[in-house]
């Protein structure tokens, strides 16, 4: 049976012990090269061995623990999702587009790591697998066709023993099972396992290694005498049109998906922690440090919460919610009525607060619940051994959330408790110091705190682009004085928007159904594509690059600078 690129069978591709922490294993299955690596959380990733950017093998990259770093341009790809979280050439931008490496199904079981060319088959243990603590022999690569290797293995059986073939190019010899990994048309690896660790471990391993080495030599002698089949020709999948055209932006639509509340707990006085996970136990979408999600609340409201997670940590999103929030019915609903086991709809993570990883010094300043995005940032900087310090201001120590998470960071974490306004200001000035090249500060906290840090930083000579913060509320005064026409391209309608009315209101009055939520330019629900015309952006949802692209807008607050706008509605 010739090899097929689309063979859905699960084959072993490595031994468990081939994957120590912080190592990238160079594997291959059915002609496709794999970069296989174990993250610090124990998860095994099997990815196409090729960076999406310029096609360099990821097996020469660096396993940073929870992210894989390409050796060519330092692109980081997250554990589990293989999503790109950082592009160092553009450190101030969140990779807005969903750049995700091709990954293969992977399972660790019976001392081996298994993979398959596609998801067509569920992983099923081989017959008799259960109930043993399988022990892997030394794998032996053979330059011969998988078929010949399998035939060779069956000849190892003593004459008085029957040979039992098991599915997936495998054979049982005594208590041992031998699997043939089809590396390529003319290359194989013999992977043997024993049901238990033998009493004399080294001697047993030596014995099998000798047997298999002899078999290898005879198989290779035979293979050298006949023409080798052509190697398989795997096809590299094309990237999406969106990724190929080097667009300035691609703003994700407000797609939502359900998550289950796995855990709800009191993280500190007045702060409730929530862990949200996929209902089927799959990993969640890639996020970058500083990212937030929209949480759709049972009462129909939408609220934004920052993720606190570290790199490659995609099995659950952890958010912190302030218990007595001023926003009526917002966080209150979450805190009071949502329970463990409940299902909520959330958006994919969005990042308006991207973390640069090209600073010589990063200062993180958090006040109160503002700790949440900065905890995520600190965790990323920590894993990359970058220089950072986190200053956490709170009224009282019992109100400090995520304490145990902060305790395990290696960087400098200073807790400042019960400071007066003046003392906070003095401390911030001391912490920042005069501006130095390649220093960056990130602030998250109440509006007054943001303004104070901005003013202090400015007074110390920090340029605007070194001072980072994000808005979850639009505190700007909306200028609704303009009047203009909107042409709705897909609805074949032209409407006049008078001064004092929003585009959203005008569209609704014309009988269109348009989704919206916060109606203050903060949540992103009414995001609309712009085909023509110049937008007068007044929202706080889109970031600078997205606004500059003039390809989308928030119809609840933003207007037109030109006399006419053509919208993709």
Partner 1 sequence: MTITLYDFELSGNCYKLRLLMNILNVPYAIHPVDFFPGREHKADWFLRLNPFGQLPVLKDDDLVLSDSGAILAYLAKKYDTSGQWFPDDPAVTAEILRWHAVADDISATSSAARLALGYSYPFDIEKSQKGAHRIFRILDEHLWFGEKAGRDWLCAPAHPTTADIACFPYVMLSEEGGISRQDYPALRRWTDRVRRIPGFMVMSGIFPAGPAKT
Partner 2 sequence: MPKAPDPITRDLWHVVAATDELKIGLIETTLLLDRRLAMTRGLDGEPVVWFATDEENGDDIDADSVLDRLPVKTAYGYTWTCLGTPSAELFPIPEFAEADRVNMSCGSIGIHVSAPRAVENFLDMGHFPYVHTDILGSEPHTEVKEYDVEVSEERDEVLATKCKFMQPRAAKSATQAMEVEYVYRVPHPFCSVLYKSCPEDESRRDVIGIFLQPMTEETCRAHLLQSMIDSTSTITDLRRFQQTIFGQDKPILENQYPKKLPLDPRAETPIRADKSAIAYRRWLSQKGITYGVIPQAS
Residue 358 binds what, of partner 1, partner 2, none (CB under 5 to 8 Å, by partner type)? partner 2
Nearby residues of 535 by Cβ (< 8 Å), 6 or more positions away: 547, 550, 553, 558, 559, 560, 561, 565
Angle at 8 between CA 314 and CA 123, to 5 degrees: 55
Element spanning 154, H or E? helix 146-154
Output 207 or 236, the one with its CB closest to partner 2. 236
Output 144 or 297, the one with its CB closest to partner 1. 144
Q: State which of positions 1-30 bind partner 1 (CB under 8 A).
A: 14, 17-18, 20-23, 25-28
Q: In the structure encoding, which two tokens stand for residue 67, read together?
A: 């992210």
Stretch near partner 2 under the rule CB under 8 A, chosen from 179-187, 235-243, 464-472, 485-493: 235-243
CA dist., res. 546 & res. 105, Å (int): 35
Q: From 370, 376, 518, select the one nearest 449 (Cα to Cα).
A: 370
Q: Is 547 in the site for partner 1 (CB under 8 A)?
A: no
Output 31 or 198, the one with its CB closest to partner 2. 31
CA dist., res. 244 & res. 11, Å (int): 33
Stretch near partner 2 under the rule CB under 8 A, chosen from 163-171, 237-245, 510-518, 559-567: 237-245
Residue 518 in contact with residue 504, Cβ under 8 Å?
Answer: no
Output 206 or 282, the one with its CB closest to partner 1. 206
Stretch near partner 2 under the rule CB under 8 A, chosen from 232-240, 514-522, 526-534, 535-543: 232-240
φ/ψ (deg, to 5) at 189 = -130, 130
DSSP string, 393-459: EESSGGG--SHHHHHT-SSEEEEEES--HHHHHHHHHHHH-S--TTEEEEEES-HHHHHHHHHHHHH
Q: Within 10 Å of residue 532's Cβ, how many Cβ atoms? A: 12
Rg over alpha carbons for the chain, rounded to the nearest Å, is: 29
Residue 206 binds what, of partner 1, partner 2, none (CB under 5 to 8 Å, by partner type)? partner 1
Angle at 97 between CA 304 and CA 381, to 5 degrees: 65
Q: Is 201 in the site for partner 1 (CB under 8 A)?
A: yes
Element spanning 361, H or E? strand 361-367
Considering only 74, 195, 252, 411, the residue that binds partner 2 (CB under 8 A) is: 74
Site string for partner 2, 436-455 (x = CB under 8 A): --x-----------------
Residue 399 in contact with residue 374, Cβ under 8 Å?
Answer: no
CB of 132 to partner 1, least distance (A): 20
Positive/negative CA dihedral, 320, 324, 326, 331: positive
Output 17 or 248, the one with its CB closest to partner 1. 17
CA dist., res. 340 & res. 470, Å (int): 29
Q: State which of positions 2-61 bind partner 2 (CB under 8 A).
A: 33, 50, 52-57, 60
Output 29 or 526, the one with its CB closest to partner 1. 29
Output 410 or 421, the one with its CB closest to partner 1. 410
CB of 86 to partner 1, least distance (A): 15
CB of 387 to partner 1, least distance (A): 15
Stretch near partner 2 under the rule CB under 8 A, chosen from 8-16, 234-242, 452-460, 520-528: 234-242
Site string for partner 1, 396-435 (x = CB under 8 A): --------------x-------------------------
Residue 485 binds what, of partner 1, partner 2, none (CB under 5 to 8 Å, by partner type)? none
Q: Sheet containing 32-38: give its strands across.
A: 24-29, 32-38, 44-48
Residue 64 binds what, of partner 2, partner 1, none (CB under 5 to 8 Å, by partner type)? partner 1
Q: Is 266 in the site for partner 1 (CB under 8 A)?
A: no
Considering only 129, 156, 205, 228, the residue that binds partner 1 (CB under 8 A) is: 205
Query: Residue 121, exposed/middle/buried by CB under 10 A (0-12, 13-18, 19+)?
Result: middle
> Which residues are at the interface with partner 2 (CB under 8 A)?
33, 50, 52-57, 60, 70-74, 87-92, 99, 236, 238-241, 243-246, 248, 357-360, 386, 438
> Which residues are at the interface with partner 1 (CB under 8 A)?
14, 17-18, 20-23, 25-28, 33, 40, 60, 62-65, 69, 71, 138-139, 141, 189, 201-202, 205-206, 209, 385, 410
């Amino acid at each position: 049976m010739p090899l097929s690129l689309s063979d859905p069978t699960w084959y072993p591709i490595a031994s468990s012990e081939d994957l120590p922490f912080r190592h990238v294993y160079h594997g291959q299955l059915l002609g496709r090269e794999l970069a296989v690596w174990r993250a610090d959380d124990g998860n095994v990733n099997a990815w196409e061995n090729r960076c999406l950017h310029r096609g360099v093998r990821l097996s020469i990259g660096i396993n940073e623990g929870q992210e894989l770093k390409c050796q060519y341009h330092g692109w980081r790809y997250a554990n589990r999702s293989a999503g790109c979280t950082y592009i160092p050439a553009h450190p101030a931008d969140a990779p807005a587009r969903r750049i995700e490496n091709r990954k293969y199904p992977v399972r660790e079981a019976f001392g081996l790591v298994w993979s398959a060319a596609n998801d067509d088959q569920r992983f099923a243990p081989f017959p008799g697998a259960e109930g043993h603590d399988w022990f892997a022999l030394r794998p032996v690569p053979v330059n011969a066709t998988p078929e010949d290797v399998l035939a060779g293995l069956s000849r190892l059986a003593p004459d008085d023993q029957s040979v039992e073939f098991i599915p997936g190019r495998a054979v049982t010899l005594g208590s041992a099972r031998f699997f043939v990994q089809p590396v390529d048309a003319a290359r194989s690896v013999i992977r043997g396992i024993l049901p238990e660790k033998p009493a004399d471990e080294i001697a047993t391993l030596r014995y099998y290694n000798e047997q298999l080495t002899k078999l290898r030599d005879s198989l290779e002698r035979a293979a050298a005498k006949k023409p080798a089949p052509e190697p398989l020709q795997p096809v590299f999948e094309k990237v999406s049109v969106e990724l190929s055209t080097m667009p300035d932006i691609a703003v994700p639509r407000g797609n939502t998906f359900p998550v289950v509340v796995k855990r709800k707990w009191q993280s500190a006085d007045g702060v409730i922690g929530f862990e949200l996970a996929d209902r089927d136990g799959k990993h969640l979408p890639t996020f970058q440090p500083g990212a937030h999600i929209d949480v759709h609340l049972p009462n129909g409201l939408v609220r934004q919460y920052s993720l606190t997670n570290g790199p490659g940590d995609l099995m659950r999103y952890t958010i912190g919610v302030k218990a007595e929030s001023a926003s009526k019915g917002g966080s209150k609903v979450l805190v009071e009525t949502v329970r463990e086991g409940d299902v909520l709809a959330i958006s994919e993570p969005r990042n308006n607060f991207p973390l640069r990883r090209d600073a010589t010094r990063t200062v993180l300043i958090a006040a109160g619940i503002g700790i949440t995005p900065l905890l995520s940032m600190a965790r990323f900087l920590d894993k990359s051994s970058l220089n950072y310090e986190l200053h956490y201001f709170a009224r009282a120590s019992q109100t400090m959330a995520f304490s145990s998470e902060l305790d395990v960071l290696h960087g400098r974490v200073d807790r400042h408790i019960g400071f007066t306004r003046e003392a906070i200001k003095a401390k911030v000035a001391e912490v920042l110091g005069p501006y130095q090249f390649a220093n960056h500060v990130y602030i998250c906290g109440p509006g007054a705190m943001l303004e104070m840090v901005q003013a202090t930083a400015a007074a110390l000579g920090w340029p605007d682009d070194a001072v980072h913060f994000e808005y979850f509320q639009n505190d700007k005064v909306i200028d609704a004085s303009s009047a203009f026409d909107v042409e709705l391209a897909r609805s074949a309608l032209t409407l006049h928007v008078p001064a004092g009315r929003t585009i959203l209101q005008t569209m609704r009055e014309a009988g269109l159904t348009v989704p919206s939520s916060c109606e203050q330019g903060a949540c992103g629900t009414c995001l609309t594509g712009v085909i023509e015309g110049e937008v007068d952006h007044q929202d706080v949802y889109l970031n600078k690059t997205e606004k500059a692209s003039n390809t989308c807008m928030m119809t609840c607050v933003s207007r037109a600078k030109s006399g006419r706008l053509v919208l993709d509605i």
